[in-house]
Each structure stands twice: as structure tokens, then as C-alpha cells.
Structure 1
Amino acid sequence: MSGKRLSTDQRELMLGLIRDGLPSQEIADAVGVSTSMVHYYAVRHGIDRSRKPAAPPAIEAVVPETAEPQQSLDWQADALCRQTDPEIFFPEKGGSTKDAKRICQSCPVAAECLDQALVNDERFGIWGGVSERRRRKLARTLKQS
């Protein structure tokens, strides 16, 4: 997005497409935002995007025993960012991240938010009070250990 705020129509369209379960990239292309913004709006409105669409009824889904359980997203209900404009967390290149980080400092679920961003390799925005660059460094450190 080029720094302009989303119109009410764009927000409603994006939320409708998110609720319909369309892939993030299709939603991002339709609305003109990043996939991270799509994910953020889903988080902000309590829509779990981590679930995969159910298999068609004629095909039985088989889950291997080694599959890891999906991370619970219940923590999102307590996130302070749900009460603010999401664009604060996605500043223009070179823009200030101070407001977003200040909100994250007092957020009771900042650690869960950061963990979610690291697990999903979020490339844009402030998550858990941490910028993209810092998350990349953190991810590299975690991979090395």
C-alpha cells in the first residue's frame, strides 16, 4: 500500500473476503494491501487464518500422527492492537515505529504476538513490539541454536 488509509469500503471488502476464507494473496491483490495487512486485520477481528479449509466431503482428510498441533490464537482477544488503527503497525518505509512499539510494550500478549510472527515468518510490520529487521535477526539466532 502506498501510505494511504484504507477506505471503509476497502475494510469491509477485506473482512468479507477474510471471512469467506479466500487465500491471503488473493485478498491482498483484490484490496491493494500486503498479505501481512490481511493477516493483521484477521487477527484484529478474531478470525483464525491458521486453519486450512476443510477437505471436500468426498475426500477423507488424513492427519499424520507426527503433525504438530495448531497454535491456539485465543490470546488475540487480549491484544491491545485490536483497539487501534492497524496502519500504525505497518508504517511507510522510514516511518516511525514508536507508537506501535509503545502500544506493544504495555500489551499483555506481546510475547504470543511475537511468537506468532516468527512462526509465520511475517515480513512486514511491528509484531510483539519487534520490527522486521529485528525479527529476522531473532529468527537467525533461533535457527542457529
Structure 2
Amino acid sequence: MYGNGKPYGKAEFDKLLRNYSAVTDVPCISFADELIQAYPKAKVVLTTRDPAKWIVSFESLILKIAESDEYKWVRAVGCIDTEFLGPYLDWINMFLRYWTNGDWQNREKLIQAMLDEGLAELIFSLEFEQGSGSDRKNHSFALTH
């Protein structure tokens, strides 16, 4: 994570994923390049979406929850729950901070984090565009082997 440590290879992913034959979206998009290298024959579906529409959707779900009073209460309870809720909330916060250099409430940084064009260059993919028109894309990632 954060570019530190040895990247995962096929052996590590096989152990992590066990009997799963597909992965999708978060957190996989954060280490998509390692997954693609580990499973070069995997089928990849890359969806693209207009960034302006994506941020509206993201705000209405993820940010609405993250900025709510209820979330603050759940977050406090999450500190007690060390098996599911606490680690899950930590994981969401970690990725939001990572993608935006710690400024996850900055909408422009969120959009820029989703505009990474490098992934499309790594793969031959079936690309699905939601809507039409924009040449700037954000990506959702799915890999199956």
C-alpha cells in the first residue's frame, strides 16, 4: 500500500483470494496493475463514466454517509468493533485519504483520483462507457480469471 513494501504476485493473490474467481472495484482498483501482472490472461471489464455524473453519484452515497452525524456515531462504535465494522470503516477512510492525499472532502481531488488513464494502457479490455461524450474518464475495475 502507498507504494511501500513488496508488490503482491500471483502466489500472494492466490492465497488472499482463495476460492474467489473475480474481483471488482474498490479496493482492487488500487492495485489493478499488480493483479493484471499476476493474472495476465484474466478478462478485464473496464467501465468509464463522465466525471461530473460520477461525483454526483459519489456525493449522494459515500460522502453523504461519511459526512453524516450517524456516521460519526457509527465510527465511534466501530472503534469497539474490531472484527468487522471498525476495520471496514478504517479501510474506506484509508482509500479516500490515499486517493486524495488526505483531502477526501475536496471534490476536485476526488475527480482527479478517478481520472487515472494509466489503467487502460495496461490491458486489452472490454470497455463499457456509461453515457457518452466525455473524453475524460474515471474507471471501475473488474477482473476475473
Question: Structure 1 length as normaliser, TM-score?
Answer: 0.25
- Higher percent of residues as strand: 2
Greater relative contact order (CA < 8 Å, ≥ 6 in sequence): 2
> TM-score, normalising length from structure 2?
0.25
